[in-house]
Structure 1
Amino acid sequence: MPFSEISVGSFKDATSKEAIRQGFAEFISALIFVFAGQGSGMAFRKLTKSETPRVEGVIAIALAHSLALVVAVAVSKNISGGHVNPAVTLGAFVGGHKNLSLIKLIIYWIGQFLGSVIACLLLKLATNEMAIRPFVLAENYTVGSAVVLEIVMTFGLVYTVYATAIDPQRQSNDTIAPIAIGFIVGANILAGGAFSGASMNPR
């Protein structure tokens, strides 16, 4: 998108009811997604009493993330577009999505980051202070390889969102979009979870 077409927005945009409503929708969606996704990994560790990644664990985590994202996108799609992921919001902004100014991008990011933080705090409270594990690289897996993997997976996610939900040249499908977006995240976790954790996300 040419720089001349970038909309910065104004203070009035940041304080409008629409912007606050959209930011709150992203907050709730991120909370739903992170709580279920991160919680699935914690539940698996609790049930198996194992800290070692296992095949069935990756499958369970991929399924939980996929299902949670379908719901997270569906409940906020008609309010904020159902981005959930800061990388998706950035992609929509760069792609020239209508009504997404720089100010709104920041509001979306604030909602998404706060939703993620609150989800993790709630998980610690609900699991009696069980540790929340960060993403780590697999043994003997290089940072360079992880960067390539994450770029490819994030591109797949952002492209899927853009093609099914926010492309101004196409009519958005409220049924297919959440399912397709959930599926690509689940598939990416199955493909990359054992290597980089399949973050696809700057959070």
Structure 2
Amino acid sequence: TVSGVLSSDWHVVYQDQNICAVRGSSVIILCSFYYPEEETVQSVKWGHERNDVFDGPFIYDSVIKNNTNTSSRFHYIGDKKHNCSFQILHVTHNDTGKYVFRFITNSRKGRFTGAEGSTLQVVDLEILMSNENQTFKEGDSVNLTCVSCDSGLPSELIWLKNGRAIHEGRVLYLGNISSMSSGDYVCSLRDTQGQPQEP
């Protein structure tokens, strides 16, 4: 049992009620669930608030195998004991919203939904420039900083100039600016192969 949760309770605990992620990254919603010891869990489901979180359709349902209505980006990484964690790969703005876990046991009344859920916000990376209101001239220097609501790991960020990778990390320093410095600068997340994702 977890502190404050009795083993006889029907209960779902979401580690984070609010999650913010960069578009294109992957997210894990950490989740635990509890029920009376005499019960046996038969099925687990995850729903999104745009559908009925009690009756579905669900974005994941352990009863339905090879469901063509379910995106391959959604993965249940928990079990049928107490771990209800859920993974979403390559999040998009369309994934924004509340996610809710539901489980069903072997008893007649053995149905429970953790209705408080966990809410995902998906944002784009933004670039902040030091001395933003300043007009730069040849020989000046400037810092470009890649920011989002999710601090993430600097090693996950890569800078591109005119589509070509030039730097890794959150901050790009441009010193001794010249005409050679002009171009289209973009910060991006790496994908699992270490390549920059499409901005």
What TM-score do you get using the length of structure 1 for normalisation? Answer: 0.26
More helix by share: 1
What TM-score do you get using the length of structure 2 for normalisation? Answer: 0.26
